[in-house]
């Protein structure tokens, strides 16, 4: 009943003979809540590159990233019955679980050094990755692109790398208060931009 | 409202960092205490969290070294069988427990011993994309300074009561990245190890296996047992 082995590795969207592979996220999560392990496998395959990518970006370490990614799926499975599609997309929900886990690990290590090229690569990443949700990912990058550069850096350092305001201050050579202001202004503006486009999607 | 709680304007200054999961423990405690009493700020935090959560979508997809599914299935089975590694028992992020313990969202940086977690009740949805139910949050019952033997304040311990008591240890003055142990002693003289954490963690959270009101003292020690700091938790 498994998909062909050739589909297992790196398959973004397994088109197997299982209904699970084509099921919506909501259907998969509902099946997971009932203990359906095939639904778990399908859900993991669908999102493992996204979850691992986030964990690796935040932690810069393959072993830690794999650990966090697996744990994120275990937690998503455990709480699949509590997923509320009215609040957020399944991918956002899952990635936020992963992000929370990764932030905790970030706190156990020194922050990963982030250079300007890393940030630029992150902000331009969607174009190279067609399996990213174009609507959500594109909308997010559009909005980030409209922030003043220093606010964008502060928001991304916090969101994608788990930097605290103090660490952003160190990295940017600015006072703590300025770092906090940039985070606040950036996230506030981002919210206005994203809420403004919500109706169109 | 108690004069110790930050006003709405101050709380709102911290909300972006709170919803991004990067707010330092002391401020986080203060803000969460405020949100307990202020539904307007709670709503604001909830809405801001939706934006912050969307930022989790920013990272590029990367192929893991090997497919993750078998590991996920294995962990779940191992978890159900109660076989967890020491590391996972001691240092896990607990979104679900945090909801129950009264933190609501933004539990990304909290850690508690997994064995004390109630299972199947919490919602990481509330933890990850919202603030959970307001009724689940409560301010710290008390906050005490952590002092070295010489009397220097090197951090704080905030104790939270309720059905699932917990505490947050916030260390700022113990120097570099190092592993420490944390233990509490009850008024009855019972000593309880709460686990290990790293001093640079910012805020470390432990579930309490005893009522918050029964605590007398918290100690932070080096792995060799030397007491680095203590906090008087008696009322």
Q: B69-101, pLDDT tens digit by residue?
A: 999 998 877 766 543 343 333 333 333 333 333
Most B CBs within 10 A among A7, A82, A91, A96, hence the mutation to make, goes to A96
For residues A168 and A157, is the Cβ–Cβ distance under 8 A? yes
* Six-digit token string for B30: 């203060």
* CB–CB contact B57 A91 (8 Å): yes
**Closest chain B residue by Cα to residue A51:** B61
Mean pLDDT of B22-38: 82
Cα-Cα-Cα-Cα dihedral sign, residues B107, B113, B117, B119 = positive
| Statement: residue B29 has pLDDT above 90 | no
Query: Please, which residues 203-232 of chain B have a Cβ atom closer than 8 Å to chain A?
Result: none
Cβ contacts from A onto B, under 8 A: 236
| Statement: residue A182 has pLDDT above 70 | yes
| Statement: residue B114 has pLDDT above 80 | no
Mean pLDDT of B108-121: 29
Distance between CA atoms of residues B44 and B211, nearest Å: 32
Query: Please, which residues 133-162 of chain B have a Cβ atom closer than 8 Å to chain A?
Result: none
Distance between CA atoms of residues B206 and A105, nearest Å: 16
Most A CBs within 10 A among B9, B16, B70, hence the mutation to make, goes to B16
For residues B52 and B19, is the Cβ–Cβ distance under 8 A? yes
pLDDT at B231: 93
* CB–CB contact A66 B68 (8 Å): yes
Q: Which of A155, A140, A57, A75 minimizes the C-alpha distance to B127?
A: A75
What's the complex ipTM?
Answer: 0.81
Distance between CA atoms of residues A102 and B37, nearest Å: 30
pLDDT at B124: 33
Cα-Cα-Cα-Cα dihedral sign, residues B115, B118, B120, B123 = negative
Distance between CA atoms of residues B165 and B162, nearest Å: 5
pLDDT at B163: 65
User: Which residues of chain B have a CB within 8 Å of the CB of A45?
Assistant: 67, 69
User: Which residues of chain A have a CB within 8 Å of the CB of B67?
Assistant: 8-9, 44-45, 48
| Statement: residue B116 has pLDDT above 70 | no
Least confident of A2-6, B60-64, B66-70, B208-212: A2-6
**Please, what's the b/e burial string for A46-73 (b: 16 or more CB within 10 A of its CB; e: otherwise)?**
bbbbbbbbbbbbbbbeeebbbbbbbbbb
For residues B205 and B183, is the Cβ–Cβ distance under 8 A? no
Query: Please, which residues 49-88 of chain A have a Cβ atom closer than 8 Å to chain B?
Result: 49-54, 56-58, 62, 65-66, 69-71, 73-79, 82-84, 87-88
Q: Where does the pLDDT of residue B125 fall: very low under 50, low under 70, confident under 90, or very high at 90 and above?
A: very low
DSSP labels, chain A: -PPPHHHHSS-SS---SSHHHHS-HHHHHHHHHTT-HHHHHHHHHHHHHHHHHHHHHHH--HHHHHHHHHHHHHHHHHTGGG--TTTS-HHHHHHHHHHHHHHHHHHHSPPPP--HHHHHHHHTGGGG-TTS-HHHHHHHHHHHHTS-HHHHHHHHHHHHH---HHHHHHHHT--HHHHHHHHHHHHHHHHHHHHHHHTT-
Tens digit of pLDDT for each residue in B126-176? Answer: 333 333 322 233 456 678 888 888 888 888 888 877 666 778 787 776 766
| Statement: residue A24 has pLDDT above 50 | yes
Tens digit of pLDDT for each residue in B6-16? Answer: 579 989 999 99
pLDDT at B81: 53
pLDDT at A6: 44
Q: How far, rounded to the nearest angstrom, does the alpha carbon of residue B74 sit from its chain's CA centroid?
A: 27
Q: Where does the pLDDT of residue A168 fall: very low under 50, low under 70, confident under 90, or very high at 90 and above?
A: very high
pLDDT at B235: 64
Mean pLDDT of A164-186: 95
For residues B235 and B212, is the Cβ–Cβ distance under 8 A? no
> How much is the pTM?
0.61
User: Which residues of chain B have a CB within 8 Å of the CB of A49?
Assistant: 61-64
């Amino acid at each position: 009943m498994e998909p062909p082995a050739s589909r297992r590795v790196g398959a973004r969207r397994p088109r197997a003979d299982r209904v699970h592979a084509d099921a919506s996220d909501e259907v998969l999560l509902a099946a997971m809540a009932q203990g359906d392990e095939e639904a778990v496998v399908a859900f993991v395959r669908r999102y493992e590159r996204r979850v691992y990518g986030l964990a690796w970006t935040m932690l810069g370490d393959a072993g830690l990233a794999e650990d966090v990614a697996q744990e994120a799926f275990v937690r998503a499975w455990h709480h699949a019955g509590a997923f509320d599609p009215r609040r957020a997309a399944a991918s956002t929900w899952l990635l936020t679980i992963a992000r929370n886990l990764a932030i905790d690990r970030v706190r156990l290590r020194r922050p990963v050094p982030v250079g300007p090229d890393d940030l630029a690569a992150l902000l331009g990443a969607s174009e190279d990755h067609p399996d990213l949700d174009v609507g959500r990912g594109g909308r997010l990058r559009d909005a980030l692109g409209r922030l003043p550069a220093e606010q964008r850096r502060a928001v991304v350092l916090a969101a994608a790398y788990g930097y605290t305001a103090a660490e952003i201050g160190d990295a940017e050579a600015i006072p703590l208060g300025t770092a906090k202001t940039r985070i606040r202004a950036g996230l506030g503006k981002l919210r206005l931009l994203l809420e403004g486009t919500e109706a169109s999607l | 409202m108690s004069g110790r709680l930050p006003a709405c304007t101050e709380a709102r200054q911290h909300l972006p960092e709170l919803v991004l999961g990067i707010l330092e423990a002391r401020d986080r405690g203060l803000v969460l205490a405020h949100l307990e009493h202020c539904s307007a700020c709670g709503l604001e935090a909830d809405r801001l969290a939706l934006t912050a959560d969307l930022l989790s979508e920013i990272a590029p997809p990367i192929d893991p070294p090997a497919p993750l599914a078998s590991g996920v299935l294995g962990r779940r089975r191992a978890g159900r069988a109660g076989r967890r590694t020491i590391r996972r028992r001691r240092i896990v992020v607990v979104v679900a427990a945090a909801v129950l313990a009264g933190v609501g969202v933004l539990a990304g940086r909290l850690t508690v011993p997994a064995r004390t977690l109630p299972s199947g009740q919490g919602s990481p949805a509330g933890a990850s994309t919202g603030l959970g139910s307001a009724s689940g949050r409560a301010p710290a019952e008390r906050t005490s300074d952590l002092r070295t033997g010489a009397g220097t304040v090197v951090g704080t311990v905030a104790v939270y009561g309720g059905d699932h008591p917990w505490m947050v240890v916030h260390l700022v003055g113990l120097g570099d990245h190092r592993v420490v142990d944390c233990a509490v002693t009850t008024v009855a003289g019972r000593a309880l190890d709460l686990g290990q954490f790293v001093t640079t963690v910012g805020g470390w959270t432990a579930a309490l296996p005893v009522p918050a009101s029964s605590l007398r003292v918290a100690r932070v020690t080096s792995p060799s047992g030397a007491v680095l700091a203590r906090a008087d938790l008696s009322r």
